[in-house]
Structure 1
Amino acid sequence: MAENFEKLHCWQACYDLKTYLKTNISEKLPKTEKFELYSQILRASRSSTANIAEGWGRYHYKENINFLRFSRGSVAEILDHCIEAKDCDYINLETLNEIRSKTEKCIQLINGYIRYLQNRNDEK
């Protein structure tokens, strides 16, 4: 297991997604959405990394896996909000596709880490 959560590939991918969203979405949303849609996107992106960190800090594999599932849900929520942003013409298809690619990578890495932890738990 990693020496700290920042070394986890799934955390790094979610952090990259969060950074991308902060720099590429906030400026494209109208002022009326700064406290609505953007706030929801920001909270979900913060939750994606925070849940990985919190899970890493737990002692038991099963607890860690639960937090990873919460993180995976937050990543899916990000994609849903961004689809809505595209539907409202706040972002273009290219930006949505980049977000889709980043969210898929996050989910794949989170799922891989869940499998790793499940296997470690089974070895006990």
Structure 2
Amino acid sequence: MADIRSFKELRVWQNAMEVTMIIFELTKSFPPEERFSLSDQIRRSSRSVAANLAEAWRKRRYPAAFVSKLSDAESEAAETQTWCEIALRCGYLTRSQAESLDSKLEEILGQLVKMASQREKWTIQSTHSINQRNNQRKP
């Protein structure tokens, strides 16, 4: 975990924020009739990736809750990919823009999966659970 003190220091959170801001700027050019539908949905799901990461970080004392919030972030990233595909097919994003966003979201998804699969590196271990684990290892 390398002495990270805040979720804002996580590369995955920084990547999620970058995608959020790119989407915010790109959706400004979407047609007005999409204001309360596609624009709103893609912005909400992209923002939820970073928000769920922040929540996961605060739940590191509870490994199951930590992984659950990472899973929520993963779901929101996949949802954002779907909205990007819809925006591409509607002609609101160029192929280049959509592919760039998809690539960035795939990177984020990989980072989330890695964090969840290596949760012991990220969660806060209580003295009680460490002692239990050590006692189970003794013959």
Q: Return the TM-score normalized by structure 1.
A: 0.90
Written as runs of structure 1 = structure 2, the 5 A alignment for 1:37-48 is: 37-48=38-49
Percent of matched pairs sharing the same residue: 25
The structure 1 segments of at least 4 consecutive aligned residues displaced by more than 4 Å after TM superposition are: 118-121
Q: Which residue number in structure 1 is paired with residue 87 of structure 2?
A: 85
Q: Return the TM-score normalized by structure 2.
A: 0.81
Q: Which residue number in structure 1 is paired with residue 27 of structure 2?
A: 26
Instruction: Report the aligned-residue RMSD.
Output: 1.7
Q: Secondary structure at the match of 1:35?
A: coil
Aligned residue pairs, count: 122
Stretches of structure 1 that go unaligned for 5 or more consecutive residues are none
Give the counterpart letter for 2:52 in structure 1. Answer: N
Q: CA deviation at 1:119?
A: 6.1
Written as runs of structure 1 = structure 2, the 5 A alignment for 1:1-124 is: 1=1, 2-23=4-25, 25-58=26-59, 59-118=61-120, 124=133
Q: Is the 8 A contact 1:28 1:91 kept in 2?
A: no
Give the counterpart letter for 1:47 in structure 2. Answer: S
Q: Secondary structure at the match of 1:20?
A: helix
Most deviating of 11-20 and 109-118: 109-118
Q: Is the 8 A contact 1:5 1:52 kept in 2?
A: yes
Larger relative contact order (CA 8 Å, sep ≥ 6): 1
Once the two structures are superposed, residues 44-102 of structure 1 have per-residue CA deviations (whole angstroms, 9 ceiling, x without a partner) of 01111111101110121211110000001000001100100111111110110011111
